[in-house]
Structure 1
Amino acid sequence: MKNNKILIVTECFYPEEFKINDIALAWKNKGYEVDVLTLVPTYPLGVVFEGYENKFYQKDEYQDINIYRVKSVTGYRESLIKKLLKYFSFMFFGTIVAIFIGRKYDYIFGFNMSTLTGMVPAVTIKKLYGKPLTFWAQDIWPDSVYAYGFKKTKLLSFFLDKFVKFMYHNITSIAISGKGFEFKLKPYVKDDLEFHYLPNWADDLDMSLESFEFCKDNKVHFTFAGNIGKVQNLENIIKAFSLLPIEYQERTQLNIIGDGSNLEELKQISSSKHNIVFHGKKPREEMAMYYKASDFLIVSLVDKPIFSVTVPAKTQTYISAKKPILAIINGETADIIKENNLGYCAHPNDVNEIKNIFIKSINLGEEEKLAFTKNCEYLTENIFNKTKIIDSLEELLVKES
């Protein structure tokens, strides 16, 4: 292999659980020398993982992958200021490290999982050393800035638009995880830049594990799994579930698995509901136990324009688990569920509609449930196939050589 050194720039990496871990290992196993520039691990709790020190700079290793880490701001779950500082600290300290190490790589890969500021170190290497740079976009700026509560003023829009255009004008190629990203990003990229739709794949699930026992009684189990923040819209889901007639409430249980900034508030509003159970964060390798024990899996986001083009990565994992899906979300995710007959959809703001799909699900027969999952295997093997997507990302990354 003539050119074989890849630097991955990402705010999160092992032991944090993101798909970039699988990409790095797959490319290393193909013979590339893979290094990673990232933060000290703190996600999602905002505290440094056991076994790590929060130094300004350090180097460690994961399965023969060199990892360059810079200091992470902690405590960002409870503080917007600290969250912003976390993003800007990686932009600043990551860029300093990038200047020193960037020259030796043949390719730069940016896993743009959240804030675009996290890709500044990657763009710096492209500008200084002319290295080919590929982004795999998991988020959309500037739309996501406004979606998370920042007021769209003329001044903020001016600077954000300039920044986003600068960033996207300095990439070589781009992969997008949602088809709707192209429309949103088109105004910010060069006219000749081609968009490549490469969605997230399903997590590897060990379906040979025994089912978890949610409770002793024979109930219909609805399960939400993943990050628990404001944008996941769990308030409306809990409201709708609480409005079920008593005879339905006795037959059902809502299981919430995960952790996040909104967890304690949700626990408070659910404290009087015995059939809403919080199970905490579980290891990814054990999640098949919980999916197997569930009758329906819930994917949800608040009603914001940006989320209409966003497909949460859990969607593909739910499909892989071969369970009916309740999509309490607008846009592309709802389209996937409807077009492939995978479950029911409801508008995220319509509590009554959400309640009604709970009722329809509870009344659903086994044959109808099977009908919802018959297309899951095809989608997992052909559209959301892990090996095919990683290979396509590699092809996109090295095509400029």
Structure 2
Amino acid sequence: MKKEGKTLILCEVFYPEDFIINDLARQWQKEKKDFEVLTRTPSYPFGKVFDGYKNRVYHTTELGSVKVHRVPVLQGYQKSMTIKILNYFMFVFWSTLVALFIGRKFNKVFIYQTGPLTLATAGIILKKIYKADVTIWTQDLWPETVFACGVKKTKLISVPLDNFVKWVYKNCDNILISCEGFAERIHKFVPEKNLTFVPNWSLMKYEPKKEVELPGEHNFTFAGNIGKVQNLDNIVRGFNYFVKENPSSYLNIIGDGSYLNELKEIVEQEKIPNVNFTGRIPLKDMSDYYKASDVLIISLVDVPLYERMIPSKFQAYLTTAKPIYSIFKGEVSHIVDKYEIGYTAHPSDVEDIAQGFSKFKELSEEELSIISERSQYLSDSVFNRERIISNINNNVWTN
């Protein structure tokens, strides 16, 4: 067994950007782990450099006592696919250059992969040159994500992409997957590798502080980003069938996003009653809204890539011990059915969605209590923060 050494966290996003890697880094600080971070100048999600930061070729900042090495970002990537792609390559170039310069002092690399797998390049090069052990925690599945974003799948593109993906995973000593559904696909590239299921945990503490009144006697709530992929057009149409016979029920949609105005137009034009748009609610107040809700909704469109994913919203929902309505094919619906913590529906079947609403309305107090106990168990076991971090530590620091 190798001794603990100095670790480099390699990631495209880091504090003050809001990702789970920040929580892990703070925990490592408490445990007095010896590590530094290599990332970009913060700009997510607005595509604009945060106030108080400079977009230099290279500079360092600090998170507590931890040194954070930063490389530049091309601003405006939220509105331009060209800029977004250029950013991927620019990060590979600058992070590799900086890693070569500072890499000699690290014997371990921890790659937090939220987006393009290309960010792993610098970590693999450190392995090749300085013999560093590499652990990757993959949050996104390549090359599927590339084609899901609209890139046409041709042999000219897919062959080099597949070879690159295989090269990355083959050179990782430990592969941590945030969704069990990733395993089958990754094993096609590296069948000899052991994969470890390391899900995300909830960053939200369920701590209701005040009473919030939602408009219905029975409140279904969707909370989060309101984009096209969240499938909310089918949800409101399914709710429309249901609410005609259940006029005291409300669908509450909490959040903001690029599809909000279009969704409001659908509700207005199709005269769908009892849909309550609250707008964005501060994270510190979300516990109050969850407490006021009877059922929490999680949904994505019917795209094969999403079937393998567990959105972090799911873990936040679990902490509330409320029934979960999964309008979602794949991983999340499998968990909801397996642990019997709610109901599921096909994301493209509006009538099936409507029937799902009816099932929740019929739940007795005893059944709701059982669901609450099961959700709490799942949150305290599979998605328990302390257990997950311990699992990460066993892979990064002691292997």
TM-score (norm 1): 0.91
Instruction: Give the superposition deviation at 1:248.
Output: 3.0
Give, as a single letter, the amino acid of the residue that structure 2 aligns with 1:136: W
Contact 1:77/1:261, CA 8 A, preserved across alignment? no
Q: Which residue of 1 aligns with 2:226?
A: 228
Q: Which amino acid aligns with 2:393?
A: E
Whether 2:329 is the aligned partner of 1:337: answer no
**In structure 2, do the counterparts of structure 1 residues 386 and 344 end up closer, same or farther at CA, with 3 Å as the change threshold?**
same
Quickly say closer, same or farther: Cα 1:157–1:218, change in 2 above 3 A.
Answer: closer
Change (3 A) 1:101 1:266: farther
Q: Kindly state the Cα deviation for residue 388 of structure 1 after the two structures are TM-superposed.
A: 0.9
What residue ranges of structure 2 are gaps of 5+ in the alignment? Answer: none
Summarize the alignment of residues 10-29 of structure 1 with structure 2, pairs less than 5 Å apart: 10-29=11-30
Indicate if the aligned counterparts of 1:44 and 1:260 stay in contact, CA closer than 8 A. no
Cα drift, residue 328 of structure 1: 0.7
Is the contact made by 2:9 and 2:38 (CA closer than 8 Å) also made in structure 1? Answer: yes
Other-structure match for 1:315? 314
Letter in 1 for 2:249: R
Q: 1:355 corresponds to which letter in structure 2?
A: A
Amino acid at match of 1:59: T
| Residue 314 of structure 1, CA deviation | 1.6
Mapping 1:228-377, distance limit 5 Å: 228-249=226-247, 251-257=249-255, 259-270=256-267, 275-377=274-376
Shift of 1:176: 0.9
Gap runs ≥5 in structure 1: none
Q: Counterparts of 2:265 and 2:93 in 1: how far apart (Å)?
A: 38
- For residues 169-184 of structure 1, the aligned pairs below 5 Å read 169-184=170-185
CA contact (8 A) 2:176 2:198 kept: yes
Counterpart in the other structure of 2:198: 198
Tell me, in whole angstroms, the C-alpha distance in 1 between the residues paired with 2:141 and 2:185.
7
Query: Aligned in 2, Cα 1:212/1:150: closer, same or farther, shift over 3 Å?
Result: farther
Against the structure 1 CA distance between its residues 293 and 88, is the aligned structure 2 distance closer, same or farther, given a 3 Å change threshold?
Answer: farther
Q: Describe the shift of the 1:32–1:268 C-alpha distance in structure 2 as closer, same or farther (beyond 3 A).
A: same
Q: Secondary structure at the match of 1:50?
A: coil
Task: Report Cα offsets for 1:129-184 as digits up to 9, x if no partner.
Answer: 11001011111111122223222111111121111111111111111111121111
Aligned equivalents of 2:162 and 2:23: distance in 1? 32
Question: Aligned partners of 1:82, 1:352: CA distance in 2, in Å?
Answer: 41
Q: Pairwise CA RMSD of aligned residues?
A: 2.3
Alpha carbons of structure 1 residues 35 and 283: separation in structure 2 relative to 1, 3 Å:
farther
Distance 2:265 2:78 in 1: 18
1:83 has 2:81 as partner: no
- Percent identical across equivalent pairs? 41
Q: 1:88 to 1:243 in 2, by over 3 A?
A: farther
Structure 1 residues 153, 380: CA separation in 2 closer, same or farther (over 3 Å shift)?
Answer: same
Q: 1:94 and 2:95 equivalent?
A: yes
CA distance in structure 1 between the partners assigned to 2:11 and 2:17 by the alignment:
11
Q: Is the 8 A contact 1:109 1:133 kept in 2?
A: yes
1:296-323 superposed Cα distances (whole Å, 9 cap, x missing partner): 1111122222222211122122111111
- TM norm structure 2: 0.91
**Structure 1 residue 282, shift from structure 2 partner:** 4.1
Q: CA deviation at 1:393?
A: 0.5
2:113–2:120: 8 Å Cα contact kept in structure 1?
yes
> Partners in 2 of 1:260 and 1:11 — Cα distance?
22
What are the within-5 Å matches in structure 2 for residues 148-187 of structure 1?
Answer: 148-187=149-188
Displacement of 1:288 = 1.6
Question: CA offsets per residue over residues 23-70 of structure 1, 9 Å max, x none?
Answer: 111112111122111122222233333333333332111222221222
Q: CA 1:96–1:279 in 2, change beyond 3 Å: closer, same or farther?
A: farther
Q: Give yes or no for contact 1:37–1:94 (8 Å, CA) kept in 2.
A: yes
Q: Which amino acid aligns with 1:167?
A: V
SS in 1 for 2:314: helix
- Cα displacement (A) at 1:196: 0.9
Deviation at 1:85, TM superposition (A): 2.6
Range that drifts further, 267-276 or 328-337: 267-276
Q: Which amino acid aligns with 1:341?
A: E
Distance 1:150 1:295, change over 3 A: same
Between 72-81 and 29-38, the greater mean CA deviation after superposition? 72-81
Looking at structure 1, the residues matched to 38 and 258 of structure 2 have their Cα atoms a distance apart, in angstroms, of: 26
